[in-house]
Structures are given as C-alpha cells and as structure tokens.
Structure 1
Amino acid sequence: MKTPAVIMAPRADGVEVVWAVSKLARGHVEWKAEDGSSGTAGADRFGFVPQGDEILRVKLSGLKPGVRYQLRAITDSTDGKDRLEGPWKKFRTLDPTAQETRFVVWNDTHQNDETIKQLHAVTPPGDFLLWNGDTCNDWHQEDWLVPTLLNPGGQDVSDDRPMLLVWGNHDVRGKWAFKVPEMIATPDGRPFYAFRSGPVAVLCLHTGEDKPDNHPSFGGRVAFEALRREQAEWIKQVTAQPGFRDAPYRVVFCHIPLRWTKEVADAGYEKGGYDAFSRFSREAWHDALVGWKTQIVISGHTHSPAWIEANAEFPYAQLVGGGPQANRATWIEGKANAEALSFVMKDLEGKVVHEIALKPI
C-alpha cells in the first residue's frame, strides 16, 4: 500500500474506500460492526475483484444507518507473493433519521503540508469531513495527485471522519486534472451530490472555474457552463424528494462563494480581472436555492474568512473559510440538533473567527 486507505463518500448504507498501490495488485475490504457482525467487500460493477497498478477502490454497501463500524483494506500482489493488511479504521454510516449530527470542514489547503498537519491535529472526529475545494495549486505533474488526495501532508485524514470532496477551481487546473475522479469517490459518482445527515440536508455543488470557459488560460480543457446548467435542473429535482423538501436545516457547500462582501458589476476577465464569487453559478442556481429555502452557503476560495447575513435579495447566508497559510487557515465544526444548527469557525490556534446558529425551518 502506497497510501492509507481513505474512507470516502459516506452513505446511509456504506462508504467507498480508495488507496494507492505501487504495483499491480488486487484489493478487498474487511469490516466489523459494534454488534459483532462482520463481512468483506471485494467486487466491482463488472464482476472483477478490484485491481490496478496505481489505485484500488472498493465500494462497501449493505450496512445499517447510523451504526459504528471498523474496516481495513487488504492488498494482494497479483503474483501471490505479497499480502498487506492495513490498520483498522473507524467510521459511522450516515443516518438521515438521527436527531443529531456533527461534521467538520476544511478548505483551500493548496498542498501546504504544514497547514494540513495542523488541521489534522486539531480537527475532531465527525460524521464526515467536507474538504471544500482547492486541495492543490494545479495538476501540472501527475505524481502530485496521489499524495495530495490520498495522503495529504502525510496524514491519514479519514479515520473516524469519512471524507467528502467538493471540487475547487484549482482542483480542475493543469493537464492532469482529468484524473482526479479516478482517486475521489462521491456518493453518486458525480462532482455534485446530495445527502442527509441527521436533521441536516446537504447539497454539494461544483462551481467550476472562476473565469469563463473560453478564457485562454484554460486551453479549451473545461466545459463548466454545461455542468452548471445540469446542476440547476438537478437542484430542483433533488430538493423535491422526501428528506430534502422537509429537512429542518438546509445547507449548500460549494468552493467559490455565491455572494461576497464587495461585488463589482464587471470583473473584466479579458484584462485579468477576478471575481471573489461565482457570478455564473449564482445566476444558474439562485432561484432553485431560494425555492428550496437554503439557509446557508459554505465556501472557501477567497483565502479570507467572511460572514454575510441573509437579506431580502439573498435569503441564504454566506460563510467563507480562510486560506492555505497557517496564519490564514481555518476549520469549521458544524453541529445540529432539534434546537439549532451551529457553525464554529476557528483558526489553527483555537481562536473563534465566526460563530453562527440557525434555527430550524
């Protein structure tokens, strides 16, 4: 095993486990529950045992909601000479009916190993760890992908806090960015998804790049206008489903904010202008998010923490986390119960930067 087994994409009935290997190998996962039940997972959608010469992925399904489990990844070389058993790691499946939930949020780590180490040290366990974009600066080198995504800062980040990734604009930059989906699992296999954790309904959206698709810096590699339109229709569909249309709390995660403290009418992209918020995404999604009664949008991107309250024009508030340097980095802990959904943003020294509490709808 070249990296720890990363527990990703938590669901009510399981998770997906991803790890890197140094040579052609097969993999499977063993699991055990608090009640003494146990089992293995080791088959892909095509009838093969998961195998590869770089990445192994195992989807674990059929588990019970809200139950604490342990799992470990087993790697066998295809020549039968080597077998590696990874350490047991803890997680809990999501429970849409739970009375409470607790989760944590990172953003904009940009391959800053020292910041990641400190974030890992101060971040408590949770039902999930939401990595809210810009894991990297760009993907100009293929060999950056594995350590950045599966062993960030040399840390085993997903033990007792299964990981979810929201794509940032830097995560789609560079000639090797197309390989990120090979190493990142999401609940639905797309870069946008929805889930319910206790009383909180969550939408995770992909804001794409911070410039138009035809900007010369992208070299014709991106097509986010179509993806934003697809998400606009998807938001309407998913929020009409039970569990989302009646959720007490309604949260959106997206890397680039949908609002900012100072907005300009024309960013002037052709002249190197910069938007601190995703004008394109807001135009595509605003009506659907208002229709869902979104309470808060949580983002990164600006490297400057901010709290923008809801108002008549924008009924959803905006919370933005800090940046990659240790003196700018922040992390967020979210907790929800019948009384309130609270967010506490702290810096790496433990100082509270923002503290917000929302009442149920």
Structure 2
Amino acid sequence: MPRKDCGSKWKEAGRRRSFSSGFPEQACKDFAIWDRIPTFLMKRRRFLGSVTGGALAGAVGVGNAAPQPTVPPLAGPLIKTPAVLMAPRADGIEVVWAVGRLCRGWVEWKSADGATGKASEDAFGFVPQGDRIVRVKVDGLKPGTAYQIRAVAESGDGEKAHEETEWKSFRSLDAKAASTTFVVWNDTHQWNDTITALHQAPPKADFLLWNGDTCNDWSQEDWLAPTLLHPGGQDVSDGRPMFVVWGNHDVRGKWAFRMPELVATPSGRPYYAFRSGPVAFICLHTGEDKPDDHPSFGGRVAFEALRREQAEWLKTVIAQPEFRDAPYRVVFCHIPLRWTEEVPDAQYQKGGYDAFSRFSREAWHDSLVAWKTQMVISGHTHETAFLPGNEKFPYAQLVGGGPKPEAATWIAGTADKSALKFVMKDLSGKVVQNVSFKPLV
C-alpha cells in the first residue's frame, strides 16, 4: 500500500485498540512511553505486552482470546507431548518429546518395503535419556522414502513404566526429487486458537517451517515444552516434519537459553541449509531487533558475533554444488532484510526497534546477491508485505502476518521444473499474496 495509507491505517488501529483487564496494570503504565515513538516504529507494537525485568517484552495481540502458553499434557506418566519430527534430512530426522520424569527413550521406524530400524544411542554412547526432554537422532534412512516412526520411553528411576507414541508418517527429503511442497508459519506467540487454525488449514507437505517468535518470551521455564512441542494442544509435525527458525522473541526471558534443548536443526546450530527437490533453502538467525548492548537484554545476548559467523558460513554454503546449482533459491529469516519504510534511526533510546534487520542485511547482502537469492521469507512486523526485487536489492521479500487470528497467515510453497510458487492465505482462506519465479537454471 502507499506509504501514507499504511501510516493512517495504523494510526487508526492504534486509536481503536484497548488493553485486556486480565493483564498487570503496570504493563499498561509502561506502554505510555510508546506515545513518544513515531508512528512508523509502532506498526507492530500496538498490541498487548508484558513486562519482564523492567523491559518491554510484549508481542502478543489483543484479540478474542488471550495467549495461552500451556496446554494439558498427555495422560501417560512418561510421555507428555507428541513426538515432534524435526530437522528432516535426506538420510534421517531428529525426534524430540517431553517426559514427566527421568526416563530413557529411543525411536523405532519402518518403511513400506519392509525395512525396520531403531535409533537408541547418542553421540556419547548413552541411550538417549532425560528428566524433561528426550531427543533421538535417526540416521541411515533413504532419500525420498516414506517412513513410519514412533517414540518409546521407559522409566529410568527404578519404577517400571513403558510408553509408546502412535506411529507417525513422514517422507525423508530428496534433493533429486522433481518437485517439493512446504508450509510456512510465523509469529504465533502462544496464541492457541491461531495455532490450531494454522495446523488445520494447510495440506500435508514435505516440511513445515516455523519462522520465528514461537513465544512472547521465556519468563517461565514450564512454557518451553508445551509451546514448542505441543503448541495449542496440536501435534504440529503430523503430516509435515518441522524446521524452526529463531525469532527475536524466542531469545527473550531468563529461560530462553534452554530453547536449544528442545529445537533440533540439521547443523546443530540456529542457522543451516538444506535442499528439497529443486529448491535450496538457507535458514538464518537475525537475532534481536535492537543492539546487543540495549539495556532490555541485560547483557544476555551476543548476536553481533553470530551474524558475522553466519556471514562467513554463507560464503562457503553458496559455493557448494547442491546450493550453487539449485534451480530455485530461498532464504528464511525471522526479521525482514527489507521493509516498506526503512528509517535511518530506529530510536532505540526511546523504545524503538528494527522493523527490518539492517545489521543482518549489511552482513549477508553481498552473499545473497552473489547466490542469486530469489526470495527472502520473514515475519516479525505482524503486517503482511511483498517487496519485489529491484536493482539495489535483487532478492524479493515476503513477510507473513501476526498472532491474532484475524492477522495470521500461512504460506504454501510449491516448486517443480516450471515454477516456484508462494501462495499466502489468511485463516479464512483468502489469498493475500501470490508470487511465482522461473527457474534460474
């Protein structure tokens, strides 16, 4: 939309919105500082927040239902969440689930051709075990093959108990496949109604990409497992094994450092690359939306170094044949690298934040251009947008919606030899964006 229309839209929205009576009065008082922030800094922030450690940490919308970080666990004494299929690869996958007490676990798998297997050891020679989370990495699978998989847990504290999950189906990734399908969500912020609708709306696909801001913040440790492994009471990796990209709210709160214990990636790092059919995907961590030394972070973050590390890694990855020669090239990162209104000063000292990650763009831009990146897919702003590539920024930018049901969106991605297509829909099924690209090679 034109710049002036965008601003007037959000000014009017700011006048209409009000706070829920179910949240602390102090949170409302702290929101008073936002009256001093220019409108263009406020598009995403006129929604209900919470105060953690004296800093504004809110990022959940005001709607018909408040965000709910927890859901009732599963009934058994051991297994408390579904077995979540994460970080699918051509030769394997990782399975993560929450447990109610100390236990050991393993994964069993079978394929249609009669092959079976069991993954029951970790990198240190132990059977995978834990008193909160069990993670099992499965190796040795065949590319592009349909499998059924289940998790098994046994008590490890002397009391006999044994539990199994239901068998769950998935297909290993295949770089040589003629086509691929995928689904993208972002900014769910523990809105269970939104998550339920997002889980039910899309079709099954080769993978789901959860593009950041799974939470508002991790101020309570017991939010982690239900939010990441059983969000909204849904088995979100059923029919779509899952990748996770970190958002800025995912690194907030005193328990944020535990999130890596529950999230598997192909590389073991918060940035990674993979190939599915004719598309090469690169997933990057944009970090926070303010500098590392901002007082709201309390000295807990070091994203400047992580961005530099990713910049060096990018140079290596884009030179590898399976990425260098891919017909289609897509980047996922939570904070956009481009935005509709790019201001030179975000006014951090007045409560401002980055609507786009200038820090990340400066670190990665040259590599993304050299790779001939076609699309960068992000969230963060809680406002949908599409910016076509141009001479200065050859890569297009697609941005998903927000956590409120009326603002939420999902993206269906499909690719074959003729085209790479992105169709963004809202929860009513209305098409919000429809973009396609021709193959590069």
Question: Deviation at 1:159?
Answer: 1.4
Question: Deviation at 1:123?
Answer: 1.8
Question: Deviation at 1:160?
Answer: 1.8
2:215 is aligned to: 136
**Cα distance in structure 1, aligned partners of 2:266 and 2:112:** 24
Alignment match of 1:219 (pick from 286, 292, 298): 298
2:416 is aligned to: 337
Letter in 2 for 1:213: D
Answering whether residue 305 of structure 2 is matched by residue 305 of structure 1, we say no
Question: Deviation at 1:85?
Answer: 1.0
Alignment match of 1:176 (pick from 255, 261, 268): 255
1:8 is aligned to: 86
Answering whether residue 237 of structure 2 is matched by residue 158 of structure 1, we say yes
**Cα distance in structure 1, aligned partners of 2:262 and 2:215:** 14
Q: Deviations over 1:323-353 (max 9, x none)?
A: 0000000000000000000000000010000
Answering whether residue 355 of structure 2 is matched by residue 276 of structure 1, we say yes
Letter in 2 for 1:25: C
Question: Deviation at 1:157?
Answer: 0.6
Question: Deviation at 1:265?
Answer: 1.1
Question: Deviation at 1:80?
Answer: 5.3
2:313 is aligned to: 234
**Cα distance in structure 1, aligned partners of 2:162 and 2:347:** 56
Question: Deviation at 1:273?
Answer: 1.6
Answering whether residue 115 of structure 2 is matched by residue 30 of structure 1, we say no
2:428 is aligned to: 349
Matches within 5 A, 1:1-361: 1-78=79-156, 79=158, 81-361=160-440
Question: Deviation at 1:65?
Answer: 0.3
Residue 171 of structure 1 aligns to a residue whose secondary structure is: helix
**Cα distance in structure 2, aligned partners of 1:272 and 1:29:** 47
Letter in 1 for 2:341: K
The question of whether the paired residues in 2 share the 8 Å contact of 1:168 and 1:255 is answered with: yes
Question: Structure 1, unaligned stretches of length 5 or more?
Answer: none
Superposition RMSD in Å: 0.6
2:43 is aligned to: none
**Cα distance in structure 1, aligned partners of 2:369 and 2:350:** 33
Q: Which sits farther off after the overlay, 130-139 or 29-38? A: 29-38
Letter in 2 for 1:311: N
- Please identify which structure carries the higher strand content: 1
**Cα distance in structure 2, aligned partners of 1:71 and 1:262:** 46
**Cα distance in structure 2, aligned partners of 1:263 and 1:29:** 48
The question of whether the paired residues in 2 share the 8 Å contact of 1:16 and 1:57 is answered with: yes
Q: TM-score, normalised by structure 2?
A: 0.81
Question: Deviation at 1:156?
Answer: 0.3
Question: Deviation at 1:87?
Answer: 0.2
Question: Deviation at 1:101?
Answer: 0.2
Q: Matched residue pairs, number?
A: 361
Question: Deviation at 1:124?
Answer: 1.4
Q: Deviations over 1:85-124 (max 9, x none)?
A: 1100011100001110000000000000010011111121
Letter in 1 for 2:194: T
Q: Which has the larger radius of gyration?
A: 2
Question: Structure 2, unaligned stretches of length 5 or more?
Answer: 1-78
Identity percentage of aligned residues: 72
Residue 104 of structure 1 aligns to a residue whose secondary structure is: strand
Residue 32 of structure 1 aligns to a residue whose secondary structure is: strand
Q: Deviations over 1:195-215 (max 9, x none)?
A: 000000000000000000000
4+ residue segments displaced more than 3 Å: none
**Cα distance in structure 2, aligned partners of 1:126 and 1:239:** 25
The question of whether the paired residues in 2 share the 8 Å contact of 1:92 and 1:160 is answered with: no
Question: Deviation at 1:274?
Answer: 2.3
